[in-house]
Chain A
Amino acid sequence: MISVRGLTKTYASGFAALKKVDLEIERGEIFALLGPNGAGKTTLINIICGIVNASSGTVIADGHDIAHDFRPARQKIGLVPQELATDAFESVIATVTFSRGLFGKPANPAYLEKVLRDLSLWDKRNEKIMALSGGMKRRVLIAKALSHEPQILFLDEPTAGVDVALRRDMWAMVRKLRESGVTIILTTHYIEEAEMMADRIGVIDQGEIILVEEKHRLMQKLGKKVLTLRLQKPLHELPRGIDGQLALEDEGRALVYTFDAQATDTGIASVLRQLSEQGIEFTDLSTKESSLEDIFVSLVKA
């Protein structure tokens, strides 16, 4: 659906925001772009959407080059920007109607009503945007982005500064959009969000895509499991004679064993055997899979 090739961006200040980025987004998927602040997420999105000029490279959106064939390319794209930039003095319905026209679509009040209803904005349609709360303004931006029935939707940090309820609503809406065939690219700081939503995940750091992987495979490949044992008596040093990654936590009250979930021999059995041989008793035992967050931190730090 979107094909980014050799995209670079060097700002006038000399800062290289993107260094030869290649990226393929597939039709109908939810793609999450993760990366620390300043990694180039927004620059990448802004180039695809036409807000920033690329220094070199090409972007093809649904078969249309975004530079030479910008009209059909941009008609297919909707963007929800990171910043809450709205026309404060306009009413909700006026600003959404404006957006639809701007993207070259004939008026369609019924469709706009549906969009506003889906976003719980219909009751507020005649209110001025400046009278709305931050979360409502965010919804207005989403409504504007959806007003022209885009096939590709960019959500740049859609849930930053948004309360839990609204975040849930947005996730539900994003899923619904995906079901209707819309391709969705989102950037987020909440890795939990990517973990819940995305089909595929791309990690960008210092202007380079360092990894693109199907989410489940990523979690399998890089995911570790940890076994935590609550000890009856605190230990002052690690028990001897046990292989593998072992650590003491909670002032010696917990013993943590990290293992590769994919391995044929996880080593759990031998750990437990060793412990009982040494007379170390425990009261509770739990295992936990590492989250995308752990994976992400280890990737970006590397």
Chain B
Amino acid sequence: MSLNVHAIRAIYKFELNRTFRTLVQSILSPVISTSLYFVVFGSAIGSRMAPIEGVSYGAFIIPGLIMLSLLTESISNASFGIYMPRFTGTIYELLSAPVSYVEIVIGYVGAAASKSLIIGCIILGTARMFVPFQVAHPVWMVAFLLLTSISFSLFGFILGLWANGWEKLQIIPILVITPLTFLGGSFYSISMLPPLWQKLTLFNPVVYLISGFRWSFFGLSDVSVGLSLGITLLFLVVCLGAVAWIFKTGYRLKN
């Protein structure tokens, strides 16, 4: 079966246009908030902190901060992108169009992931202005960026399909994703935690993401890189399965 490439392009363009139409809100605001983190934690507080395994604290938090924005942005972009047409009723067109769910997912998730990637790169560039750092494994860094953007955009897409109110759309990012990211080692190495918390924190999937991503920068990690990659891929597969199920059953899409 051939892909409806025109449809994928139409959805992708439509979604990216939405981003550019709201440029300030969608790109500037994550950049500003991340810059504030750098100023406060990187420069102001970081200068008083001892380096972690030879990496200055200001540099140490960069991968964590990028991941923090990447997760938040991927989820909010993708969930909003598909929730909006459900809310306004324009979803009728998508459902009546000759598109398969694969094409819908590529269009929406692709656009959301692209936007997160753009933001990730901008933050990386911004960070460079505050703290000097080098990337040890650039290819792996890009791989982790890509995988994370795609996986969490997929997750956001599922969230946008599942939510049947604005409140539900907000509640998962606030109650689940933000705490997991903050407690997942964005700002610290998990070896700095008390022993019990070190064990508990391993149940947090975000730990593996941040650890793997940080390894690609500095070559040091809390958990093995293979495990990081494995968990990220596993999350991606679970999300793909959930999306396939949703479209197959028409859950929350067709009654």
Contacts and interface: CB of A to CB of B under 8 A. Distances in A.
Contact of A75 (B11, B89, B95, B98): B98
A98 B10 contact: yes
B87 to A, nearest CB: 10
Contacts of A111: none
Interface string A63-80: 000000011111101010
Given A94-B17, A101-B6, A79 B92 contact: yes
A70 B98 contact: yes
A105 interface: yes
A50 B96 contact: yes
Interface residues of A, number: 35
Given A85-B88, A86-B88, A98-B14, A79 B9 contact: no
Interface centre among B13, B98, B255 (most CB of A within 10 A): B98
A139 interface: no
A79 B4 CA distance: 19
B89 A53 contact: no
Given A71-B4, A85-B88, A104 B98 contact: yes
A39 B88 CA distance: 25
B48 interface: no
Contacts of A89: 18, 21
B254 A79 contact: no
Given A11-B255, A98-B14, A49 B98 contact: no
A33 B11 CA distance: 33
Nearest to B17: A94
Contacts of B89: 81, 83, 85
A12 B255 contact: yes
B contact face: mostly helix, strand, loop, or mixed:
helix
Interface centre among B11, B21, B99 (most CB of A within 10 A): B99
B96 A74 contact: yes
B93 interface: yes
B7 interface: yes
Which size class do B's interface residues fall under? 20 to 34
Contacts of A100: 6, 10
A104 B88 contact: no
B250 interface: yes
A75 B4 CA distance: 11
A86 B90 contact: yes
B88 A102 contact: no
Contacts of A101: 6-7, 9-11, 13
A84 B65 CA distance: 42
Contacts of B98: 70-75, 103-104
A102 B99 contact: yes
Contacts of B7: 101-104
Interface in B1-58: 1, 4, 6-7, 9-11, 13-14, 17-18, 21
Contacts of B96: 49-51, 74, 77, 79
Interface centre among A75, A83, A85, A90 (most CB of B within 10 A): A85
A106 B18 CA distance: 22
A49 B1 CA distance: 21
B94 interface: yes
Interface in B151-198: none
Nearest to A48: B96
B200 interface: no
B129 interface: no
Interface centre among B1, B7, B13, B94 (most CB of A within 10 A): B7
Interface string B217-255: 000000000000000000000000000000000100011
A272 interface: no
Contacts of B17: 94
A255 B11 CA distance: 65
A192 interface: no
A274 to B, nearest CB: 60
A88 interface: yes
Contacts of B92: 49, 51, 79, 81, 85
A108 B11 CA distance: 17
A37 to B, nearest CB: 18
Interface centre among B9, B250, B255 (most CB of A within 10 A): B255
Contacts of A85: 88-90, 92
A55 B9 CA distance: 33
Nearest to A84: B89
B139 interface: no
6 contacts: A74-B97, A89-B21, A90-B14, A99-B10, A102-B7, A104-B99
Given A70-B98, A101-B10, A101-B11, 19 more contacts: A49-B92, A50-B95, A51-B92, A51-B96, A53-B250, A53-B255, A74-B98, A75-B98, A86-B90, A94-B17, A98-B11, A99-B10, A99-B93, A102-B7, A102-B11, A102-B99, A104-B4, A104-B99, A105-B6
Q: What 8 A-B pairs are tightest by C-beta distance, nearest first?
A: A101-B10, A85-B89, A74-B98, A49-B96, A71-B98, A102-B97, A104-B4, A51-B95
